Amino acid sequence: MLDRNIKEFSLESDDNHFMENLLRGIIARSKDIDNIIVKAAPDWPIDKISAVDRNILRLGLFELLFSDRKEVPPKVAINESIELAKNFGSENSSRFVNGVLGAVYKELGEPGKEDTGKGVDGKSDNKAIKELLVGAVVYASHEGDIYMALVHDVFGHWTLSKGKIDPKDDQKIGTQKKIKEELGLEVTLEQELGENEYIAYDPERGKVRKKVQYFLAKSDFSDIKLGETGGLDDAKWFKLRDILDLNFYNDIMPIVTKAVNILLSKK
């Protein structure tokens, strides 16, 4: 297929080897790359993303995550993908591709990761659409120990269960439903823990500033059944003493630390 396209579009050049390696790499990593797209654009199912946008994202993410950064610097990978989207995608394609790759760029720990109020281009996100979500630090007692239920995402971080709620539900009822859906656990909410914000991306709406209200929630120590939630690949109980050694996002740490201190005071 690649050879045919090279001949058809007169692409014969010294870059043929590079193109072949790039194609083989994307195919080999396709499952991982698609999981990352789901995580970076959680409100847009991957099968609803246009074929052009989807494949530009696969190309950009492979270069961003798996290529030699000396050969393809992260910002070059992002900018080239945006140009492809402008030339071959729809009116909103370049904005969507920029948003998804920008989100992944931040998660890689590149400059600007800690500034949730700015995009990868350094410009303010004050005009982003605002959206409220809920989440919880879920804990249980078992044989004299306190455990915390955490979910693991495709970026390699342990984090807290969260999500959108039905507009008809209040925050507490919505949180209980969301935890049941994502972890298969029945919980009782005990107190609020605080909020954090992050930027997500939608191909139609653009940047969406999401504010998450977190609660401390108690559950029985029962088996966790991870729901079919995009971007998550595991969920486990951890003993409280092991929690702070895990790989958390920096903006989640204050919520987790506050919960740990509350739970230790209960003991």
As a whole number of angstroms, the distance between CA 198 and CA 60 comes to: 22
37, part of any domain? yes
89, part of any domain? yes
Determine contact, residues 58/15, Cβ cutoff 8 Å.
Answer: no
120, part of any domain? no
Cα 232 off chain centre by: 8
As a whole number of angstroms, the distance between CA 39 and CA 230 comes to: 6
* CATH, residue 68: 1.10.940.10
If one counts every other C-beta atom within 10 angstroms of the C-beta of residue 227, the result is: 17
122, part of any domain? no
Q: Which of 55, 76, 107 is the last residue of a domain?
A: 107
- Residue 150 and residue 58 share a domain: no
Least confident of 57-66, 100-109, 137-146, 190-199: 100-109
Determine contact, residues 112/103, Cβ cutoff 8 Å.
Answer: no
- Residue 134 and residue 256 share a domain: yes
* CATH, residue 164: 3.90.79.10
- Residue 99 and residue 151 share a domain: no
The answer to whether residue 111 scores a pLDDT higher than 60 is no
- Residue 259 and residue 135 share a domain: yes
Q: Which of 107, 141, 167 is the last residue of a domain?
A: 107
As a whole number of angstroms, the distance between CA 38 and CA 232 comes to: 9
66, part of any domain? yes
119, part of any domain? no
- Residue 147 and residue 101 share a domain: no
- Residue 262 and residue 133 share a domain: yes
- Residue 77 and residue 204 share a domain: no
Q: What angle do CA 72, 75, 81 make, to 5 degrees?
A: 80
- Residue 141 and residue 84 share a domain: no
82 or 233, greater pLDDT: 82
255, part of any domain? yes
As a whole number of angstroms, the distance between CA 67 and CA 236 comes to: 32
- Residue 257 and residue 133 share a domain: yes
For the residues 202-219, what does the mean pLDDT come to?
A: 81
The answer to whether residue 206 scores a pLDDT higher than 70 is no
Q: What is the DSSP letter of 73?
A: -
Contacts of 221 (CB under 8 A, 6+ apart): 140, 141, 142, 147, 237
Q: Which domain holds residue 261?
A: 129-266
Least confident of 68-82, 161-175, 213-227, 249-263: 68-82
116, part of any domain? no
- Residue 77 and residue 201 share a domain: no
- Residue 233 and residue 140 share a domain: yes
Q: Which of 107, 141, 164 is the last residue of a domain?
A: 107
Kindly report, residue by residue over 129-157, the tens digit of the pLDDT.
Answer: 788 889 999 999 999 999 999 998 766 78
Strands (DSSP E) along the chain, which ranges?
129-142, 145-153, 158-159, 161-163, 187-202, 206-219, 232-239
Kindly report, residue by residue over 55-68, the tens digit of the pLDDT.
Answer: 999 999 998 888 77
The number of distinct structural domains making up the chain is 2
Helix (H, G, I), strand (E, B) or coil at 200: strand
Note the pLDDT of residue 42: 75
- Residue 145 and residue 37 share a domain: no
In terms of Cα–Cα distance, which of 177, 172, 206 is closest to 43? 206
